[in-house]
Structure 1
Amino acid sequence: MIMPQKMAKLFIITSLFFLLFCFIEGVRLPFVVASGILILISILLFSLNILRTMLTKGESRTPARALNKPVHKKLATATAILAAGIFLFNTAPCMASATQIPEKADIIIIGDRLVDIAYNLGVLPAAMSVRCSLWPLCDTLKTSCQVLGCPNCLQKKKAKPLISFAKAHQIKKVIIEKGNPFCALVPELHPEKIAGMLENQGLSVTVVEYSHDLAKTVNQMAAILGKADKAQMLLDNYEKNLAKVMKNIEKKNFAKRVVILNGVFQASSGKSFLRVESPGGYADQFLLSALKSINVGHEMVKSGKKPAKGHYSIRKLNRLIVTAPDAIIITGDGFAVQKAIAQALVQSPGLANIPAIKNQAIYNLPGFIQSSLIEYPSILSQWAFVLER
């Protein structure tokens, strides 16, 4: 059996290797955690060694206690194993984090679907043009990737922000997403039309078409990014996760009438600006239809009012009484909508009797505009979980 002294040396040597690995990979937080664990284990083993020495001396003086020697050995062994378990459990995130950090590539990508695929293949572009205001994952990616505005803005500005960034950072390669449509909210948007402008500036442009064939697009992007070995695993995991979600929602009942609210809170004025998602959009096509739920957002506005970019702008929530949804889904700034609902309840106490509020069926969920292709099973699962009845 390994003695505590030798065990301590073994832990210290192993810990140093883990710490060195974390430091080389640039994983700062796990490095600090592992350092704390190393100190904790060293103290534990030192205390264990003192305890064992005291027990050994006691056994040599009292023959009757010698009968308990195996028990003490088991105690020491169990404690050492426990310490090893604690160590491995806490340093595991270090190894996991290192493998999850995407590598930066000297490319620019236009289109959130392609950025999402690249990210899940382990690659982040130097810059991107995506629908950031509607794509929740963008808040995470933009901390490491420059956002050049949305594709619509980029097209209107004749790609000037992209060209300037490319020259400043000596980037020569651009990947553009082509879709039909590229964005259902802005049908006239075609980012591939700026390809000629970029090529005239000496940039190499690759157009990747997304036509609802995920496997084709993933394989094409993997080949371009040099990640062909990861494509099939990514697709297999996606199919497995999607199949699991679809099986879970079979034969289940979900809230029938749903209103989807999106808001922005303006701190300077203390006001909330609200929008209602109109029927027929992304949420209907990819989320509510799978759950056999109905988007009744059009009942929140007067008949005949037309939506702008898939939403109706509203000032008050008093029409919730007429709409009487079974559930209210909040996307975007949850605080803005929650504040508006609280104020509406004060002004119109009758709102407390509508099914969604009466049954506390108000949920803040990630929005979906088909940007997070790979995350779709996870997002559908969240919507299904809260809307189940």
Structure 2
Amino acid sequence: MRHYPTLLNAIFIGDRVLDIGHALGCYPRALIGGQVPLTDKDFPFIRHLECILCVMGPKRALLMKAYESMGIERVVVEHSDCTPDPASIVDELRASGLTVDVVDFTQGMGRAFEDAGRIFGRPDEAARAARRHERDMETMQRPVAPLGRRVVTLLGLTNPQRNEHYLLLETPGGHLDTRILTPLGCENAGALLMDMAEEVVMEGIQRVSSPDRLDRLDEAAPDAIVLTGDPLVGLVALQEAVARKPSLARSVPALAAHAVYALPHCCSALPASLPRIWTEWRNALSPQAAPCTQRQQ
């Protein structure tokens, strides 16, 4: 039996729960997340309450208030290896009278799909999704011919309420390298754009506070530039860099070849989506791919 997308009278705590819910067509009325960019644009029908760190810290009352004022039936919490682990507040929430279910991501995606299928009432669909995910992960782990690309990846974030934009750099050695670039035989060329005075946070991401750091793109010499999150933020930054230093348009291989791609952000909070993300990156960076701006999905 085919199920259609369903809006659950629930609050999800954790981006992984939203990711696996999306795979099963089950969505919450409200979300407490924060690791995945653009969830407000991808899921405009979901009320975004606060970030996980805030709710697990000084803003716990916000969750309680939303649970009561929205008439929520249950809270679905992510149990993961993150620090802090959202599931660490489950006992407290239950003691406060909330109905709480837990999706366990610490025992592999098979267990996570099983939990999600039971909680969302879609056990058969979850079992099929788990088998499909396992096959896709096996495909990812097969050796591939190295693509040999030098890649700079820029993450754009937007705060529409404040009309603020933030540019970040995926630094070498982070989650993106582990899951995408290294397995595909690509090199993260972002090292020469790093500012050692800035902190590296969020799985190897560093904020680009000074826009003139992109003036060093000719030193990094990427032959592909990938824009994740809000790609417009990265495009504007590239345009401004070329305006300041017109020689970049010729000296940076990626700009000279128009090899600029808008692709999905890759982070550990999207485990169910990883095979799709990996496939899109592989297709864009493959030699047979015509240089163009890829449509982000």
Range of TM-score over shorter length: 0.7 to 0.9
C-alpha displacement at 1:119, in angstroms?
2.7
**Quick check: 1:311 aligned with 2:214?**
no
Question: Greater share of helix residues, 1 or 2?
Answer: 1
- Over the matched positions of the two proteins, sequence identity in percent amounts to 27
**Quick check: 1:340 aligned with 2:237?**
yes
**Quick check: 1:326 aligned with 2:236?**
no
* Residue aligning to 1:200: 95
**Quick check: 1:286 aligned with 2:179?**
yes
| Maintained 8 Å contact 1:330/1:362 | yes
| Maintained 8 Å contact 1:159/1:198 | no
* Residue aligning to 1:157: 58
Amino acid at match of 1:370: S
The structure with more radius of gyration: 1
C-alpha displacement at 1:265, in angstroms?
6.4
* Residue aligning to 1:102: 5
Residues 178-198 of structure 1: CA deviation (Å, up to 9, x unaligned):
211x2xxxxx42222322332
1:1-389 correspondence runs (5 A): 101-131=4-34, 134-136=36-38, 139-143=41-45, 145-180=46-81, 182=82, 188-211=83-106, 213-243=108-138, 250-264=143-157, 273-303=166-196, 305-309=198-202, 310-314=204-208, 315=210, 316=212, 317-352=214-249, 353-389=251-287
C-alpha displacement at 1:330, in angstroms?
0.6
Amino acid at match of 1:298: A
| Maintained 8 Å contact 2:104/2:115 | no
Structure-1 separation of matches of 2:95 and 2:258:
57
Structure-2 separation of matches of 1:308 and 1:373:
19
Structure-2 separation of matches of 1:303 and 1:105:
45
Amino acid at match of 1:256: R
Structure-2 separation of matches of 1:199 and 1:297:
45
| Maintained 8 Å contact 2:145/2:185 | no
In the alignment, structure 2 segments of 5+ residues that lack a partner are: 288-297
C-alpha displacement at 1:379, in angstroms?
1.2
Aligned residues: 282
Amino acid at match of 1:372: L
Residues 135-183 of structure 1: CA deviation (Å, up to 9, x unaligned):
455533341x222222112112342221111112333422211211x2x
Question: Greater share of strand residues, 1 or 2?
Answer: 2
C-alpha displacement at 1:280, in angstroms?
2.4
Structure-2 separation of matches of 1:227 and 1:270:
40
Q: TM-score, normalised by structure 2?
A: 0.83
| Maintained 8 Å contact 1:255/1:327 | no
C-alpha displacement at 1:123, in angstroms?
2.1
What SS does structure 1 have at the residue aligned with 2:55? helix
Structure-2 separation of matches of 1:292 and 1:124:
36
What SS does structure 2 have at the residue aligned with 1:335? helix
Residues 319-351 of structure 1: CA deviation (Å, up to 9, x unaligned):
111111121111122122112212211221221
| Maintained 8 Å contact 1:257/1:294 | yes
Structure-2 separation of matches of 1:221 and 1:348:
51
C-alpha displacement at 1:318, in angstroms?
0.8
* Closer, same or farther: CA 246–388 of 1 in aligned 2, 3 Å: farther
Residues 38-67 of structure 1: CA deviation (Å, up to 9, x unaligned):
xxxxxxxxxxxxxxxxxxxxxxxxxxxxxx
| Maintained 8 Å contact 1:175/1:207 | yes
* Closer, same or farther: CA 264–377 of 1 in aligned 2, 3 Å: closer
The answer to which of 101-110 and 332-341 deviates more is 101-110
Structure-2 separation of matches of 1:111 and 1:165:
16
C-alpha displacement at 1:260, in angstroms?
0.8
Q: TM-score, normalised by structure 1?
A: 0.65
Structure-2 separation of matches of 1:350 and 1:165:
53
C-alpha displacement at 1:244, in angstroms?
5.3
* Closer, same or farther: CA 311–116 of 1 in aligned 2, 3 Å: closer
| Maintained 8 Å contact 1:327/1:356 | yes
* Closer, same or farther: CA 381–127 of 1 in aligned 2, 3 Å: same
